[in-house]
């Protein structure tokens, strides 16, 4: 583990390298307990074209722990948010770094990061089956949670017509 970083340094580190490709960077601080010690959350949007580079850039700073990737269906865009933690071995200095990437529904592809962070495999596979995105270069693209007989082209977390609505509204028709 390299030396610890502060939330401000993390934001600056990314902005220096990628300039305008980083948007909406903000640091949220919250206080807990009677001593009111702070905890830090960093949020930023990374352009899809530099996403893989930004993760490689992050690893040069410190090898992060990838907690999970979550996803939102917001209209014409699918947003994938990678939740990393930095400084996890430093007492009370842990930073939660949330990097979000917007993918248009017409071409929802993203590069895999499982070659540089092998622990990302399950969460990437889950995003593929749940949100219908394509992860380029993933070593194993099979389903994780959905059963093998679940219909193709239906994505449980989508809010459009590829969502699961028709399956739960007409359960008597589906169950044959």
Partner 1 sequence: MSEEAITKTSYHIPVGPIHPALKEPVYFEFELSGEKIIDVNVKLGHVHRGVEWASRKRNPIQVLYLAERICGICSYCHPAAFTLAVENACDIEVPERADYLRVVQAELERICSHILWAGVAAHEIGFDTVLYFTWQIREKALDLTEFLTGNRVTKGIMTIGGIRRDITPDMLPRIKRDMQFFKDNFEKLRHIFLDDKTVKMRSQNAGILTKDDAIKLCAVGPTTRASGVKKDVRTGESYFAYGDLDVKCITPKDLTGTVNGDVYDRIIQRLLEVKQSIELIEQCIDEMPAGDIVSEPKIPKLMNQIKKIEGEGVGRHEAPRGEVIHYVKFDGKSENPYTWKVRAPTYNNILPWIPMLKGEQIADIPIVAASTDPCMSCTNRVAIVKDSKRYELTKEQLHKLSVEKTRRLMK
Query: From the CB of 135, what's the least distance to partner 1, in Å?
Result: 16
- Phi, psi (rounded to 5 degrees) for 117: -125, 95
Residue 50 interacting with partner 1 (CB under 8 A): no
**CB-CB contact of 167 with 174 (8 Å):** yes
For the chain, give the longest Cα–Cα distance: 60
Which three-class secondary structure state does DSSP give residue 126?
helix
Query: From the CB of 86, what's the least distance to partner 1, in Å?
Result: 10
Residue 162 interacting with partner 1 (CB under 8 A): no
Which residue lies nearer to partner 1 by CB, 50 or 78? 78
Query: From the CB of 140, what's the least distance to partner 1, in Å?
Result: 9
**Residues numbered 51-80 forming contacts with partner 1, rule: CB under 8 A:** 63, 65-68, 70-72
Query: From the CB of 119, what's the least distance to partner 1, in Å?
Result: 3
Residue 154 interacting with partner 1 (CB under 8 A): no
**CB-CB contact of 46 with 54 (8 Å):** yes
Q: Give the separation between CA 174 and CA 60, rounded to whole angstroms.
A: 50
**Residue 85 vs residues 43, 94, 105: alpha-carbon distances, Å:** 12, 7, 28
**What residue ranges bind partner 1 (CB under 8 A)?**
28, 30-35, 37-39, 41, 43, 63, 65-68, 70-72, 81, 83, 85, 87-94, 96, 98, 117-123, 143-148, 156-157, 164
């Amino acid at each position: 583990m390299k030396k610890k970083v502060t939330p401000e340094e993390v934001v600056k580190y990314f902005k220096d390298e990628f300039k305008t490709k980083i948007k909406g960077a903000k640091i949220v601080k919250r206080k807990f307990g009677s001593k009111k010690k702070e905890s830090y959350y960093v949020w930023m949007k990374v352009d899809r074209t530099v996403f893989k580079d930004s993760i490689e850039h992050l690893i040069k700073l410190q090898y992060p722990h990838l907690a999970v990737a979550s996803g939102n269906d917001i209209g014409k865009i699918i947003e994938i948010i990678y939740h990393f933690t930095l400084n996890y071995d430093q007492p009370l200095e842990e930073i939660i770094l949330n990097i979000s990437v917007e993918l248009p529904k017409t071409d929802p592809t993203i590069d895999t990061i499982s070659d540089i962070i092998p622990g990302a495999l399950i969460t990437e596979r889950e995003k593929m089956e749940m949100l219908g995105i394509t992860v380029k270069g993933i070593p194993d693209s099979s389903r994780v949670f959905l059963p093998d007989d679940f219909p193709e082209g239906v994505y449980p977390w989508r809010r459009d017509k590829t969502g699961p609505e028709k399956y739960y509204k007409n359960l008597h028709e589906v169950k044959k």
